[in-house]
Amino acid sequence: MVRSEQVRNKALIRFIVYNGIVAALYIVLTYFLAPISYGPLQARISEAMTVFPIFSFNMIPGLTIGCLVSNLINPDNLGPVDIIGGTLATLIAGIFSRIIGKKNMWLGIIPPIVANGIIVGGYLPFLLFDTVTWQEVLLTMLSVAAGEAVVLVVIGLPLVAVIGKTGLKNKLP
């Protein structure tokens, strides 16, 4: 009985440490690259880590917390819609990346592109502009999705390859 409790405690500590590292890295990358991390034309380098749920459902909390804090400390402070909406987009993307990634790890990059494009791109024009047309909403959705796609293709896919080939996926919580 004592042995199984020690194993559970070790697993919990590992879960907390890994997610703390992921959240901290997400926040640092987003904040220090703020000019390209926020706004209608964005390419958050930290979003490359959205590939982690492809390998472990347990990585979703760190990504979600990292996104939440990054949106809270946004230098332009777009308020609760951005804080909640962006965080929700990351959470949804993480869940669907895990579901799709279990079947095909290469396709696991699609949910963050779609979720951020639709959710974040859908509300950003209303937070940034006084008057909004459907064309501006569509253009913002496409630009956010394109920035996400660039990050995930250029950084995320190589990260998937490294994690998949090196056995790092077996070390994730």
CATH code (residue 150):
1.10.1760
Which residues fall within 8 angstroms of residue 79, CB to CB, at 6 or more apart?
127
Q: Are 147 and 41 in contact (CB under 8 A)?
A: yes
Report the chain (173 residues): mean pLDDT per 10 consecutive residues: 81 94 98 92 94 95 97 92 96 97 95 98 94 96 97 97 85 77
As given in the structure block, the two tokens for residue 150 are 């660039």
Q: What is the pLDDT of residue 125?
A: 96
Which residues fall within 8 angstroms of residue 56, CB to CB, at 6 or more apart?
98, 169, 172, 173
* Domain around 44: 2-171
Which residue shows structure tokens 């220090």? 32
How many other C-beta atoms can be found within 10 angstroms of the C-beta atom of residue 2? 6
- What does pTM read for this prediction? 0.92
Q: How many domains in the chain?
A: 1
SS3 content of the chain, % helix, strand, coil (to 5): 85, 0, 15
